[in-house]
Structure 1
Amino acid sequence: MEASRPGVDATGAVSAMVLAIGKPSFPHVLIDTLRAVADVGHCMVFTFEDQRSARCLLSTGNIAIGPDLGAAYSEHFHTADPNREVIFRERAEARHIVLPHFARRMYPKGYRKLFFEDSEIVDKAATAIWVGDHCTYVNFYRTVAQGGFTAGQRQRITEVAPVVAAIVARHCQEQAAVTDPADKFALLFTTGGPLSVLTAREKDVCRRILEGFSSEAIAGDLGIALNSVFTYRKRAYEKLGIASQNELFAIALRLMAAPKPLN
């Protein structure tokens, strides 16, 4: 039985995403909306400027290694993605790009192992849109536990894809325009990347460290015990492979200094 209702107003369901544009909550609203429409398990968003580079803008959902997949795709595997040929071929068209239905045989062996077998992805749908010199490439996944998209779910994804792509592209533009340091720090924890592997409370603590809070101030701001602050900080540092506040700042500064995804 499908998790989404057969009679759902697919286009109307994305209205909550419009209200979340530019906000840290956007990834959560995005995946909640996609689950309501077609029980999407995970969503990843990439951007292209040219055929030599790609960047992961967002990874949200139920695939634990999502951030690792985003990094691998950005660094190397984007060159093996058959959808890229379609994306660049239709670059001159100022419209939503309809991408081919998923078929594993479309992808090279190494790509299939990492992105489908290791991550337990069994089905996907994708859409893309060019905004100026940047392409926003949105991927919708289903995992082994969910099974493939039904015909009805795939139809609803197709219906909302143009609107979702445009909203995601606009959100990414808003992210690029953020100037307040606190907002920039918040965004580092909501998109795909090393900081996204942390739990919600670990992110709360690390974000406040980056904003200059003392441990005592963090405890007061979050309403938790001082020892809990130390515990969350220790767990976060272990996950990030660091041992000091300076190393946390180095990660944040490296992410903030990365090329902006959209104009």
Structure 2
Amino acid sequence: MSAAVLLYTEHAERVRRLSAATVRAYRSDLADLAVFLGEPELDRIDVEDLREWLWAATQRGTARASLARRTASVRGFFAWAAGERLREDDPTLRLVTPKRGRTLPAVASTSSLQHALDDLRVEADASGDPIVLRDAALLELLYGSALRVSEACGLDLDSLDRGAATVRVFGKGGKERVVPYGAPAALALDAWIVRGRPALLAGTEASALFLGARGGRLGVRTAYDVVRRIVGPVVGADAVGPHALRHSAATHLLDGGADLRAVQELLGHASLGTTQIYTHVSTERLTAAYRLAHPRA
């Protein structure tokens, strides 16, 4: 099974062009299955084995979203294995996918987020510290263009069209989109590129837009730390990540009257249904405001 998992994850990455994070998750799920079943022969695994594996995960308190992903991992793997004739049948055809609960994302208020970003940019301009200049540009772009953190960390200098104030992004599955960014992001990016970036550039990552303290391309983990430190207090959560800025941008756009399909294009969502979760956030906020303010609520 381990040899088949290696072939499948290579197929998922190179042929299906799934994101690196998705491939890692699938590889981890399938490795866990192999250990759970004692490294079995591929053609000896049946649907009862898979049900027992999922049941054991349930007993450990695994979240429904993770259970749904585990099911997707084995579905994709065994469908591929049957297609490659590594086994005669697909045992997942009778496997029920756990229903995934949909949680509303954490969203910062418009005013509190603007204050936090403005304060950071003032600090960056006053200090000239290249790290602070980078952090200000990163957060402004994450919020201003509603980027995924992996998309932002993967940007190169030539991804920016500074004249048009747009950025070319390669999202999930290698799909390309061009999205705008606003005036605050433009100012922060100019300050970073002119004053901050040259101080960190080590020569090995001359093309990367955002750099780490040692001059290499900025890593996703460092970007998470930046968001948690600056945006966490605004959202009121210690474990907040870069997606909080993406969620906030989408919600604020819809609150301001943006068209849902325009927001879908900005976010790079394949399905409009994925974007519609942000309308639920806005509706909840409207309902909460109504209950607090209306005398007959």
* Global fold match (TM > 0.5): no
Normalised by the length of structure 2, the TM-score is: 0.26
Higher helix share: 2
Bigger radius of gyration: 2
Structure 1 length as normaliser, TM-score?
0.29
Higher relative contact order (CA 8 A, sep 6+): 1
